[in-house]
Amino acid sequence: MKSKHTFAAIGCLFVLSACGGGGGGGGGDVGSAAASTPAPAAAPTITAIASIDASKAAENSFSASHLVSAWPSAVPDMLNGVSIAPVDAGLIAPVFDLLKRAYSQQDASLLTGVTRSYSCTEGGSIAVEATQHDPLTPTAGDTWKFTSTNCGASGTIQNGTISAKVTDAAGNLFQSTSGAMTLDVAFGNYSSLQGGVTTVVDGGMKVSVSKMGLNSSTFTTTGTSLQQTIQQSGTTIATRTLSSFSVTGSKEGSLLTSAANFSLSGHSNRLGQFAYTVRNLTPFTTTATVTPTSGALVVSGAGSSVTMTVSPDSVRLDHSDNANGTITSTVTRTWNDFLGDY
């Protein structure tokens, strides 16, 4: 995907046991990560989807879905020992990347709520404030707060905070072939700057992961509200709010699946003001690529809709300009063309 839709994984910006940062002062109360989730606003009025805007509306909705559901391709690998989440991993893989590193440190200071500061590989720093019951095993009640200040690596600069609280845990996802964990996660003005494009996220979600074997995992993500702002050279080009979102995903062998259901509203330079409902008709699936190779998603507007049906090389867009869903126009685009139509 193009950089305007991506978040680099901040977990790969530093290595806790090797960075040059020093210890910090006493830690404040991390509290519940979900506490900083913005209160939901009144539901916006659903807007119509014109034929000329069908591709842009579908891409906008797919990118929003990608933000909270593309991560199943990364998390199982990290749970099995690969510790760096890829760019394009959405929001969840970076969280698990950070936690996997943190739960491998055997750092007694993190058990007491002390804040530690670490240097990033290309300048800047990240402060880690944590309270753990066990240095290696996720335990209900563990809290984490990662605060990045111009933290850079691989041409990406991160700022803002990610907070996480373990609300339920069984076994050890990171140290064994099975286990389960539920997290409340909050993003506070969390930004990623890459190639002149800055993406900022605020809001929260609940993430549950179950690992049944080396190559078998399931995932769910739910949340009330998540806001994303995309800026290019300092100018805002799009805003998105995902409301009442739920996502399911799985990994079975090499097969990865994900399906989402949410409301989407905001503004973009090319669409203007928009408000839709979005849901997968069939789950997106893939075995290796960032973009899915099968699956379908429908974006519903006022008396109109667009359905995107994906294949390995292209996206078919079926537009309907009436409430009964009768297809009135169809176009097929390559993935590159489709992803450029934000």
Diameter of the chain measured on Cα atoms:
63
How many residues are there in the chain?
342
56 phi-psi bin (left φ>0, alpha ψ -120 to 50, beta other): alpha
> What does the pLDDT read at residue 107?
58
Residue 32 has pLDDT above 50, yes or no: no
> What does the pLDDT read at residue 93?
73
47 contact partners, CB below 8 Å, separation of at least 6: 273, 274, 275, 276, 301, 302
Domain ranges for the chain = 3-339
Task: Give the chain's end-to-end CA distance (angstroms, integer).
Answer: 11
Cα(204)–Cα(161) distance, integer angstroms: 12
Cα–Cα–Cα angle for 37, 193, 104, nearest 5°? 65
Which of 37-41, 103-107, 228-232, 265-269 has the weakest average pLDDT?
Answer: 37-41
Q: Which DSSP string do the residues of 47-89 spell out, in sequence order? A: ----GGGHHHHHHHHHHHHHHHHSGGGTHHHHHTT---PPTT-
Model confidence band, residue 340 (pLDDT cutoffs 50, 70, 90): confident
Cα(46)–Cα(327) distance, integer angstroms: 20
> What does the pLDDT read at residue 161?
94
What's the mean per-residue pLDDT of the chain? Answer: 80
Write 2-6 long-range contacts (CB < 8 A, 24+).
2/339, 2/340, 3/194, 3/195, 3/197, 4/197, 4/199, 4/230, 4/232, 4/237, 4/238, 4/342, 5/63, 5/66, 5/67, 5/88, 5/199, 5/339, 5/342, 6/87, 6/88, 6/192, 6/194, 6/199
Model confidence band, residue 287 (pLDDT cutoffs 50, 70, 90): confident
60 contacts 268 by C-beta, under 8 angstroms:
yes
> What does the pLDDT read at residue 232?
87
Task: Please list the alpha-helical segments (H only) found in the chain.
Answer: 54-69, 75-79, 92-102, 335-339
> What does the pLDDT read at residue 42?
67
pTM: 0.82
pLDDT digits (tens, 9 = 90+) for 292-332: 899 999 999 999 999 999 999 999 999 999 878 899 999 99
Q: How far is CA 248 from CA 244, 261, 284, in A?
A: 14, 9, 11
**Which residue type sits at 13?**
L
Model confidence band, residue 102 (pLDDT cutoffs 50, 70, 90): confident
